[in-house]
Amino acid sequence: MRYAIFGDIHGNSEALGAVLGDVERMRVDRLLCLGDIVGYGAEPEACIRRIRSLGIGCILGNHDSAATGGTPLDYFNPYARAAVEWTADRLGGDEKAWLASLPLTMPLGGFILVHATLDRPAEWGYIMDREAAARCFDLLGERACFIGHSHVPVTFRRDGGISTICDVATVLDEGARYIINVGSVGQPRDGDPRASYGILDEGAGRVEIRRVAYDVGRAGRKILDAGLPPFLALRLEAGR
Ligand code: ZN
């Protein structure tokens, strides 16, 4: 099976459309979403509609949870909070009910999805270093755990010790375990403004991170026109 695994779309329908176009060319069997469909961007409803219409398996992100009242606003910085409040006003009851129904984790045989970390997933901790990765690895029964949340693509590998891999493609060794952050579709923060997502070829035991250019200017203009904080448009251009 070949999977496209993507998340942190954040209401950016330009980026989502570009990624789905790329996925089509990559001939995958199944699409999976790591959550944070909404928050920051100007088109949360359009992104939810697209994901639902394609029947994409999806887990819950912290912004999805906050937009439905599930995660308190004091978790967020002022820009994120403004976006959460704007998004919560904008979404209808059916969209909120669907977001609230999403699971925190999705085990899929050889691998598992979680938005933030397996270590208390509803507290939304970040895996930015080996200590945080170790806490997640300790709970990982599968060969690999796919995550988002930090918006920075990176892979942690445990085989005795824990190492960090920033390569575009990773071959999954038998006997090692992996935590793979596929980056963000709608708000990358690694200095590359292109949308980021992962392709898992389960048979070949290989993961590839793909970057896809999209109309960043248009997505930014929609954020400004919506009256969202201008910083949220600027950061798309910078990829930070
Ligand atoms: Zn996010």
Write out pLDDT tens, residues 66-120: 999 998 898 899 989 999 999 999 999 999 999 999 999 999 999 999 999 999 9
Rounded to the nearest whole angstrom, what is the distance from the C-alpha of residue 30 to the centroid of ligand 1?
22
Q: What is the pLDDT of residue 39?
A: 96
**Domain residue extents for the chain:** 39-103, 104-240
Q: What is the pLDDT of residue 91?
A: 97
Residues with Cβ–ion distance below 5 A, ligand 1? 8, 36
Rounded to the nearest whole angstrom, what is the distance from the C-alpha of residue 148 to the centroid of ligand 1?
7
Q: In terms of CATH architecture, what is 104-240?
A: 4-Layer Sandwich (3.60)
Rounded to the nearest whole angstrom, what is the distance from the C-alpha of residue 160 to the centroid of ligand 1?
30
Q: Treating both helix axes as pointing N-terminal to C-terminal, what angle do 78-90 and 231-238 enclose, rounded to 10 degrees?
A: 110
